[in-house]
């Protein structure tokens, strides 16, 4: 009989110690297995019970829209479940081409490029472009998303981080460099953790003054801002950002990300980005559903109005219950619950006692001591559900 010998490398002890440290600090991440139900938007099954999801990025509820579901099913029947290769090996479907053309026109740019996710879109585009230009310097808002941060880190260029939305410090940094030196300002339109917006036009003014490129992440504004949902730039009539990034996995209701911008720059990314070249492309059926989602978003004035109305209704209910929250100007509502243990306990109580799921947000997504619940209120939510959510949250906060 063979004796079982432990082959666990010593290095795993270090990893296990780090995990124990995470758990003891209240920073360990818990994942809730879900089974979203298209017939009941905003609901998921957990141990046979329906749970309301109040933290989804599916801002308009389009992931369960019958038109998108039908488009994906019909396309799957025609084209199958996978492209079977990367974009350069049989993975560029006619729908990929059509969708990239639609996205470029939507943002008023020469070209658009689709990636497997918004994270990959940011990481690959920034890391490749910033490394390609000699003597490049990048100026990055301190609150930028991790995908932007990692893309900048990967690039072999000089990096400067300026305080969040601080135009004075941004200009001071820009003025330090010779006018002929290539520069790029990287920022977001809506910062999802605080629900605040960047001064896009003012940043574009500085970019124009100091001859800098701009890279704008519109992830959380796509679909919900602007007359046709093209983001805050469309809402304010700003056309100057050099690159605009967006995603399909939030308001458009499918999966994937993209960047729109100058033709030559994105052709270079298409030709050199490893995360674009060496990965299987998104299925054509998913892209057909995305085209349908884009169509609904572009004509989704009523959906956007309902999202705004519900967000205002939720804020009023939270105020009435004396529940602290960050009153941003956008649809995301961060409810402040400082303390890693406490925010976890509140989330657990909501789930166990009220069948309400909101994922706690803690470090490193937000600074220690600023933990929160990030609440979104999709158009399908009723006034009664909103009032019940506020009541349930008030009860759980009192017990935590």
Give the E-state strand segments of 236-306 in sequence order. Answer: 243-247, 257-261
Tokens 């929160």 belong to residue:
372
d(Cα 25, Cα 15) in Å, to the nearest integer? 15
For residue 61, give Cα distances in angstroms to 20, 40, 65, 73: 37, 10, 7, 18
Which residues in 307-336 are b (16+ Cβ under 10 Å) and which e? bbebbebbbebbeeeebebbebebbbbbbe
CB atoms inside a 10 Å sphere around CB 139: 26
108 Cβ neighbours under 8 A, 6+ residues apart: 239
Catalytic residue among 183, 225, 250, 292: 250
For residue 125, give Cα distances in angstroms to 161, 238, 245, 246: 19, 22, 10, 12
Question: Do residues 356 and 329 make contact, with C-beta atoms less than 8 angstroms apart?
Answer: no
d(Cα 95, Cα 290) in Å, to the nearest integer? 10
Question: Do residues 217 and 145 make contact, with C-beta atoms less than 8 angstroms apart?
Answer: yes
Burial tier of 296 (Cβ tally within 10 Å: 0-12, 13-18, 19+): buried
84 Cβ neighbours under 8 A, 6+ residues apart: 90, 91, 280
315 assigned to active site: no
- Starting at the earlier edge strand, list the strands of the sheet with 333-336: 333-336, 372-375, 360-361
d(Cα 234, Cα 226) in Å, to the nearest integer? 5
Half-sphere exposure of 97 (CA within 13 A, CB side): 6
Helix axes 284-298, 66-79, angle to 10 degrees: 150
Pair of tokens at residue 174: 């820009």
H or E element in which residue 184 lies: strand 183-188
Q: List, by residue number, the catalytic residues.
A: 250
């Amino acid at each position: 009989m063979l004796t079982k010998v432990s082959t666990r490398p010593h290095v795993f002890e270090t990893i296990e110690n780090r995990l124990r440290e995470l758990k003891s600090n209240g920073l360990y991440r818990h994942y809730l297995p879900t089974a979203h139900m298209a017939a009941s938007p905003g609901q998921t099954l957990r141990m046979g019970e329906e749970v309301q999801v109040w933290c989804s990025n599916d801002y308009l509820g389009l992931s369960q829209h019958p038109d998108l579901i039908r488009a994906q099913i019909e396309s799957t029947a025609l084209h199958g479940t996978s492209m079977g290769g990367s974009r350069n090996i049989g993975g560029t479907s006619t729908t990929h081409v059509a969708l990239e053309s639609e996205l470029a026109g939507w943002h008023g740019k020469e070209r658009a490029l689709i990636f497997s996710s918004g994270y990959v879109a940011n990481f690959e585009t920034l890391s490749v472009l910033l490394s390609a230009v000699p003597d490049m310097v990048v100026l990055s808002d301190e609150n930028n998303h991790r995908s932007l941060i990692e893309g900048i880190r990967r690039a072999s260029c000089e990096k400067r981080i300026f305080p969040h939305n601080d135009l004075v410090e941004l200009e001071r940094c820009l003025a330090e460099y010779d006018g002929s030196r290539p520069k790029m300002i990287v920022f977001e339109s809506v910062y999802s953790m605080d629900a605040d917006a960047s001064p896009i036009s003012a940043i574009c003014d500085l970019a124009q003054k100091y001859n800098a490129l701009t890279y704008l992440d519109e992830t959380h504004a796509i679909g919900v801002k602007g007359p046709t949902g093209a983001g805050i730039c469309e809402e304010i009539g700003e056309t100057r950002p050099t690159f605009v990034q967006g995603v399909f996995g939030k308001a458009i209701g499918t999966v994937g990300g993209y960047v729109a911008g100058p033709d030559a720059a994105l052709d270079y990314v298409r030709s050199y980005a490893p995360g674009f070249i060496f990965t299987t492309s998104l299925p054509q059926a998913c892209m057909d559903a995305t085209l349908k989602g884009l169509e609904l978003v572009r004509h989704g004035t009523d959906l956007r109005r309902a999202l705004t109305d519900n967000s205002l209704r939720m804020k009023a209910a939270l105020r009435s219950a004396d529940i602290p929250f960050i009153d941003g100007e956008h649809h995301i509502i961060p409810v402040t619950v400082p303390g890693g243990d406490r925010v976890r306990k509140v989330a657990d109580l909501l789930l166990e006692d009220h069948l309400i799921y909101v994922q706690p947000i803690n470090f490193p997504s937000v600074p220690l001591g600023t933990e929160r619940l990030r609440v979104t209120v999709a158009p399908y939510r009723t006034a009664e559900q909103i009032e019940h959510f506020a009541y349930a949250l008030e009860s759980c906060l009192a017990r935590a």
